Amino acid sequence: MAIRPILVIPDARLRAVADPIGEVDDEIKTLAKDMLDTMYDAPGIGLAAPQVGVLKRIVVMDLAGEGEPPPRW
């Protein structure tokens, strides 16, 4: 998948209202995988689509404890 640039304040996209997701199609699945790759690279435990410049209501997170493997999707 791809690691996407993470936006930071004062980028206006971070304050915009994101659109709901009607159906989880291949485009949304690819977005979620890209977001996970980006989150792990950052490193972080969560990431919302607007943080990577996509105005969709989707968030990914990994709350595995230290030393636990990340979940497999």
pLDDT band at 73 (very low <50, low <70, confident <90, very high): low
Percent of the chain with pLDDT over 90: 81
Full domain range(s) for residue 37? 12-61
Has residue 41 been placed in a domain? Answer: yes
Has residue 53 been placed in a domain? Answer: yes
Has residue 3 been placed in a domain? Answer: no
Has residue 27 been placed in a domain? Answer: yes
Q: Please give the tally of structural domains in the chain.
A: 1
CA atoms within 13 A on the CB side of 24: 4
pLDDT band at 69 (very low <50, low <70, confident <90, very high): confident
Has residue 16 been placed in a domain? Answer: yes
pLDDT in tens, 38-68: 999 998 899 999 999 999 999 999 988 888 8
pTM listed for this prediction = 0.86
Secondary structure class of 46 (helix, strand, coil): strand
Answer for the pair 33, 70: CB distance below 8 angstroms, yes or no: no
Element (H, E) at 47: strand 46-48
